Structures are given as C-alpha cells and as structure tokens.
Amino acid sequence: MSSMSPAHSTADAVLARIVAWLRWFFGVAVRERTYGTLAYLLVAFPLGLGYFILLVIGVSLPLGFAFALVDMAVSSPIALLIAGIPILLLMIVVGIPLVLWVLVLTIELAALERVLAERLLGADISTSEPARTFRERARRLVLDRGTWKGIGYLFSKFVLGVVSLIALIVGVAFTYVLVAAPLHYRNRSVGIHVAGPIEFVPELTYRHDGWAVDVVSSTTLSIADGELISLYVDSFASALVVSAVGVLVGLVVLHLFNALGWLYARYTELLLRGTQPSLFREPPTQ
C-alpha cells in the first residue's frame, strides 16, 4: 500500500481550505440567512421610529401631569389647592392607565422583536416563565426587570434603525454605481452626491410655562455638500472591469450586512433574554 506524502497531504489541506473559503465568500449571495438579515435591516428603521413615537407619547403625558403638580407646589401652593385636584384626577384616570398600557405594549413589542431576531437573524432568546395569574401578571408588569429592559431596547431600536438605513443606502448605492458601470460609464454626473450640507445636533427639550429642561449634545454631526463617490471611465471594456469589481464589492457588502445582523442578534439576546413572554400567546389562567 502506498501512503500519501506529508507535502501532498499539506497541499490537499490548503486546497480544501481555499475551496471552503471561496464557497463561503461567494455563497453569501444564495445563503438564506443573508436575505433574512436584509429583511431585518429593511424593517429596523420604520419599527424603531414607530417604537420611539409610541413610547414618547405614552410617557410624556403622565410626566407632564407630574411636572405640572410639582411646578404648582413650588411656585404657587395656593393654585395647587385649586387646580391640583383636577390634575391629580387626570393623572389617576388618564396618566396611570396610559403608563400601564405602555408597559403592556412594551412586553408585546419585545416579544415581536424576539421573534424577528430569532427567525431572521438566528438569535436564541429565552424568556422568563409566564405568569399564571392576573395578579402575578400585574405585579410583574411594573416590578419585573425584563419590562424595563424591554423599554430600553425599544428606545435603542430607533438608533439601530438609523444605522441600518444608512448602511443599506450606502452599501446598495455604492454597489450599484460599480455594477451598473456599463450603463453609464461616460456620464460624469453618475455618483453619490450630497446636494447640500447636512448638520444634526442631538437635542432633547421639555418646556412648561416658561421654563424648560434642555439636554443638548456639544457635538455637531455634519456632512459637507459635494461629491462622495464619483465614477467615470471612457471605454466599455473598462466599464466591464469596474462592473466585475462591483460584483465582488457587492459580495463584501453582503458579508458586512451579515456581520451587522450578527451584532444585532447578540445585542437583542443581551437585552431581551429573560423578558416576559407575550400575554396573548400564554395568557394567565386565573
């Protein structure tokens, strides 16, 4: 029997690794997880924006009642005796039920996010044991740590959505400019441009009766107007080469999307592990 030489064995191992790497690199375009990640990134921004609006509206009204009572107690105790009772009644009748509604909604939206992360990103997120009675559900609604973790996650989903939207726009636009080079290779206007300067100063303000609480970031985020990416080649052959490079760039972009999805999956596992299951899937029995 002839035995394989060490050099031949090493060469086969190296070749197998190269083939495996090439299969992994080019296979991203047909991998199911890739399109699950793309779907997750596409819905991240509208969901994050919706969560942010719902939570801000649900929290701002009860806080407004509370600030009004505190303001009256400090500035005009006599007015508190007159107007404080109606405001207190509004807080009891409207504010507290609204807060409880927000907490219930948080549990359900966190359950939705767990499903999305598990099915689209392959996350593995365990929940706490479901409440068996309505009394236990009511207690855990306010006192369970998972409820507040869910609120934090839903607020942060707005940031994740913005990052996802920017990544999709830049990645898809950059890939398209390269891949479609044969269609516009003599057009100097093709590229990614910023029509005007973009500036963003993070700021949060609460105003009431002439006084305000401002939280303003000292950092201004800005993008100057002009050309970010330009593409111009003067021959069809060169455009075909650019297009081929664009295909490779597109594959790299898909891998970057998958890496971003992996980070989102780990983040979601960290924040939503141990949160309460959906009330509608497993309602209390008593």
Tell me the pLDDT tens digit for each residue of 10-54: 777 778 888 888 898 899 999 999 999 999 999 999 999 999 988
pLDDT tens for each residue of 166-177: 999 999 988 988
pLDDT at 272: 92
Token pair in block for residue 194:
């910023």
What tokens does 153 get?
Answer: 């996650």
Report in angstroms the alpha-carbon separations of 265 from 75, 89, 160, 242. Answer: 49, 43, 12, 34
pLDDT, the chain, mean: 78
Give me the percent of the chain exceeding a pLDDT of 70.
67
Q: What is the pLDDT of residue 228?
A: 47
Question: Rounded distance, CA 10 to CA 12, Å?
Answer: 5
Side chain identity, residue 263: L
Other beta carbons within 10 Å of 210: 6
**CB-based contacts of 169, cutoff 8 Å, min separation 6:** none
pLDDT at 8 over 50: yes
Number of residues written out for the chain = 286
- Predicted model pTM: 0.74
Element (H, E) at 182: helix 181-184
Identify whether the C-beta of residue 140 lies closer than 8 Å to the C-beta of residue 132.
Answer: no
Q: Are 171 and 258 in contact (CB under 8 A)?
A: no
- pLDDT value of residue 37: 96
Q: What pLDDT is recorded for position 249?
A: 92
